[in-house]
Structure 1
Amino acid sequence: MELVLELIDEDSRTWKADILVNTFRAEIAKNIMQIPLARSVHDDFQVWGGETPGTFSVRSAYKLLQKFTRIPSDEIIQAENKNFYRKLWNLHISSKIKITVWKITWNCIPTFANLKLKRVIVEARCPRCRQTEEDSNHVFRQCPTTEEVWSHLSFAWILNNNIQSTWEWLTWVFNQGINKQCHLFCCGLWLIWSNRNQFLYENKISNSRDISRQIISYNSELHGLEEKLRICEIGRLRICEIGRLHNQDNRRTNVIIHFDAAFDQFSSKSTTGLVVRDRQGEILASKSVLHLNVTSSFAAEAYVGLQAVRLGISLGLHACGIFEDSRTVSKKSQSTERDKSIIGGIIRDIQDAKPFFQEIDFHFTLKTENVLAYVIAKEALKKGVGYYLENGISEQVQQEMERIRQRCPD
C-alpha cells in the first residue's frame, strides 16, 4: 500500500475503517477517520494545519515549535493551567473577582511580602494578626481571621491539606470543588482581600463572622442577577424560537432552515439539530443525525451545515435561507472559494450542492435565536439516535421546550 487513495472507498467516499484499524495504531487510525472527505474527487493541494483557514502564518509556526520543544512535564503543567483558567473564566461572577483571583495565581497582588521584596516597605508583618509575614498564603489561608471565615462558610476542608504553594492550593480547590463551591470560593478570596484593604487603609474592622456574611450575601446577589439575566435571555428565546418567526418579510427566501450541533469530545460523537419553517413560522420538518469520529465542535457545525443543505434538496426546495450560530462555518459555506481548512472536504460538498437551488443563502444568527435546533441536537446526543419528523418536533424536544417556557416570565 503506497497511496492514501488506497485507504478510501471511492464508491461511498469514506475511509476503509477495517484497513486503517489493521494497518495503523488505534490512535492514528482514529485520527485518519476523523478527516472529512468530500464526495467529489478533486486534485490534491497543500494545506497548513496550524491555522483554521489552512494558510501559513508565522504565528502558528511559532506555536508549533513551542509545542514540540516542550518537555513532558511542561505539557502536564500547561494542561493544568488551561483547566484551571477555563473553569475560572467560565464562572458566572464579576470580572473584578476573576481578575483578583488571576492576580493571586500569579502572586502579583500587593501583599506586604511582595512590597518588601520590591523595597517599598521594610516591615512585612500581617496587619491583622501581627504574627508572621503577610504573603498570599497567609492572607488567604493561614491568617486566624481567614481560617475562621472559611470555617463559617463550611469551607474548612480547603485548609486540611499539606500543600505549600498558593498556585497548587488554588488548582487543588478548583479540582475538588463543584462550580457552585468554586463560585463561593472566588467570592471569598475577593472579599477577604477587600476587607484586608479596608482594615489597612480605612481603619474599618470586620470580624470573621461579618466577612463570612458579606461573602454569602454577595454570592447570593450574583446568583440572583444571573437568574434574572437567564430568564430575560430565555424570554428572548421564546419569542424567537417558539412564538413566531420574526423579521422575515425583508428576506427573499421562501423557507428557513435553522441548524445547530451538539458535540461530545470524549466519544468524538456529534448530532445534528435541524428545523425547517415556512414564512409564517410553522414547522415543516425537524431532523437529527448522529455523526461518529468528529474531531471538534468546529467540524460538528460543518457537518450540520451539510445536512441542512441535503435536507433542503430532499424536500425539493427551490429557495431557502440557512441560519446557524457559527460565523466561520456560515462564511465558508457562503463563499465560492476553495476552503483549505480541516473542514474543507465538508465545505466543498456544501458548495457543490448549491446548484440544486435557485437561491440559497447562509446567515449567521445568535445562539439565543437558535435554541430549538440546539435542543433537538442535544436531546439526540443523549439518546444516541437520530430521527426525522414532518410538521413537528419529537416528544422529548417538546418536553424540554416546555421546561424552558415554564421558566419564562408571562
Structure 2
Amino acid sequence: MHRVKSDLLSAHIGSKPSKTWRAICDGIDVLKQGLIKRIGDGATTLIWACNWIPRTGIFRPIASKVPEPPVLVSELIDHTSMTWKAELVRNCFFDFDSDVILQIPLSMRKQEDFWAWHHETNGLFTVCSAYRMLVETKKNREDYFGSCGNCSDVQRIQKEWKHLWRMKMPSKIKVFCWRLAHNSLPTGSVLKNKNLANTANCKICGAEEDTWIHSLLQCNISKCVWALMDEDLLDLLASLRFSDPKYWVSYICCNIPQADGIRILVTCWAIWYARRKAIHEGIFKSPFSIMIMINRLIEEFEFVQGIDFKEKDLYQEKSRTHNWIAPQNGLSKINTDAAIDRTGTKGVVAAVCRNDQGGFIAASAMVIPHITDPETLEAMACLEALAFAEDCGIRSFVVALDCLNVVKNIREMP
C-alpha cells in the first residue's frame, strides 16, 4: 500500500515501488506533460512554477525582463474590470510570452483556477489525445536531435493542413495536394535528385528542368489549359511568387476564396493526370478535353457538396436572411455572436434578448482586446449572455449561437 502525503501530481516513485505504483507514476508523468492551469482569479497559480500559458511547447514563461517579477498570476490581473494589466505584462515578459498571456480569456465571474487538459478544447483528458501528444513529442525530439529543420510555429502549420483536409474535394485531389506540398510528385528534377533519372528534362516539351512549377504552370500543355481559365484566376496565379510548393498550396487553401482555390487545385490535378497519361501511356489529351474534365468535376462538386462556384468567396461575410426562430412559450431567447476587427488585434461579443413574441428586451456588447480566436470569442459570448441574463433578472431563457464546436464542448462538460 502506497500512501501519498501530498497531491497526486507531486507524488514520488519512492525507494521500493511496486510495479503498479511504477505504472501509476508513469501515468502521472504523462499527465504533467499535458495538464495546464485555466486562469480564474489567478490566486493559486504560480507564474514561474505552474503550467498556465496555453501554447505548443513550454507552458510557462521563458524568462523575466525585471529583477523582481510578480509571483502569482493574480498580480497580473485587474480584478475590477477582470482584464489583464497589459502594461505590467509587457514590462515583465518578453513578447514571446506576453502576446500569448494577453490572449488568455478571463471570466467576469469570481472563479478559482483549475486544472485542464491542454490538448482538448473542452479541457477533458482522453487517452487518444494523450497518445497523440506522446507521438508528436517523440517526433519533435527526433527531429531536434537528428538536426532536421522544422518550423517552430507548429500550430500555424497544423491549421494550414486542416484547411486542406477540410476543403470539399475528393480525397484523391487532397492527397495530390499533400504530395505537391511535400514536393514528392515525380517531376524530372525530383527523379534526378533521387537518382531515378539521368536528366531533369521535361518529357512533354523538352525543357531543361522539370520542376513542379514547370509541370503545373509553365509547360506548354499547362499554359494552354490555364489560358482557358478566367482572367482573374490567371492574374492571381501570376501574383504568387512562391518557390516552395508548401507555401504555394497553403496560400491557395487559406487566403483565397474557397471556390477559386478548389478550381485551381482541381486544374493542377487534371494537368498532372494528363501529363501522366501522355508520358506513360502515350495518350495525349487536348487542352479543351482537359478543361471539359475539370468542369465535369466542378459540376459534381456543386451537386454533391452544394458549393456554388459562381458565387463569391464562401469565407466572406454572407448576407443573413434567416428568420428568427421563436423559443417556447414563456421563454426568452438570447442570440449571441462574436467577431474580430479588421486589424486582427481584438474581438467583440454581443448578445440580444427577445421574448417569445420577438419583442426586444435588452442587448449587450463588449470589446475584448488581444483575443482573436473565433471559438474562444463565441464561448465568451455565451458567458456574456449568462451574465447579461442575470443582470436583467431573466430567469427562463435559452441561448442560441452558431458555433458547433462550442456547443459540443459545453454539452461534454461534466
Which residue of 95, 101, 105 maps to 1:32? 101
Cα distance between partner residues in 2 of 1:141 and 1:65: 38
Relative CO higher for 1 or 2, CA cutoff 8 Å, sep ≥ 6?
1
Q: Does the CA-based 8 Å contact 1:84-1:174 persist in structure 2?
A: no
Counterpart secondary structure, 1:289: strand
Cα distance between partner residues in 1 of 2:253 and 2:404: 33
**What is aligned with 1:245?**
325
Q: Does the CA-based 8 Å contact 1:198-1:204 persist in structure 2?
A: yes
Give the alignment of 1:67-86 within 5 angstroms: 70=144, 73-75=149-151, 85=161
Q: Does the CA-based 8 Å contact 2:181-2:246 persist in structure 1?
A: no
Q: What is the RMSD of the two structures over their aligned residues, measured on CA atoms?
A: 5.4
Give the alignment of 1:8-407 within 5 angstroms: 8-39=77-108, 41=110, 44-54=113-123, 57-63=130-136, 70=144, 73-75=149-151, 85=161, 88-89=164-165, 96-106=172-182, 139-141=215-217, 143-151=219-227, 153=229, 155=234, 167=245, 170-171=248-249, 174=252, 178-179=256-257, 182-196=261-275, 205-208=284-287, 210-212=289-291, 215=294, 226-227=307-308, 238=321, 241-242=322-323, 244-245=324-325, 248-249=327-328, 254-263=331-340, 267-294=344-371, 296-330=373-407, 333=410, 337=414
Change in Cα spacing, 1:93 to 1:229, as seen in structure 2 (3 Å) is farther
Cα offsets for 1:96-155 (capped at 9, x unmatched): 543433343346667799999999999x99775588898866643454322433345464
Q: Does the CA-based 8 Å contact 1:13-1:37 persist in structure 2?
A: yes
Q: Does the CA-based 8 Å contact 2:163-2:254 persist in structure 1?
A: no
Q: Does the CA-based 8 Å contact 1:50-1:61 persist in structure 2?
A: no
1:196 to partner: Cα distance: 3.9
Counterpart secondary structure, 2:118: coil
Change in Cα spacing, 1:98 to 1:288, as seen in structure 2 (3 Å) is same
Q: Which moved more, 1:41-50 or 1:219-228?
A: 219-228
Cα distance between partner residues in 1 of 2:319 and 2:330: 23
Q: Does the CA-based 8 Å contact 2:344-2:372 persist in structure 1?
A: no
Q: Does the CA-based 8 Å contact 1:158-1:173 persist in structure 2?
A: no
Change in Cα spacing, 1:312 to 1:104, as seen in structure 2 (3 Å) is same
Aligned letter for 1:140?
L
Cα distance between partner residues in 2 of 1:230 and 1:39: 41
Bigger share in helix:
1
Cα offsets for 1:43-69 (capped at 9, x unmatched): 554444344344563433554565677
1:257 to partner: Cα distance: 1.5
Q: State how many pairs are aligned.
A: 329
Counterpart secondary structure, 1:256: strand
Counterpart secondary structure, 1:291: strand
Q: Does the CA-based 8 Å contact 1:47-1:54 persist in structure 2?
A: yes
Calculate percent identity across the aligned residue pairs.
Answer: 23
1:322 to partner: Cα distance: 1.3
1:300 to partner: Cα distance: 1.0
Cα distance between partner residues in 1 of 2:76 and 2:375: 25
Counterpart secondary structure, 1:288: strand
1:304 to partner: Cα distance: 0.5
* Structure 2, gaps ≥5 residues long: 1-69
Query: What TM-score, normalized to structure 1?
Result: 0.57
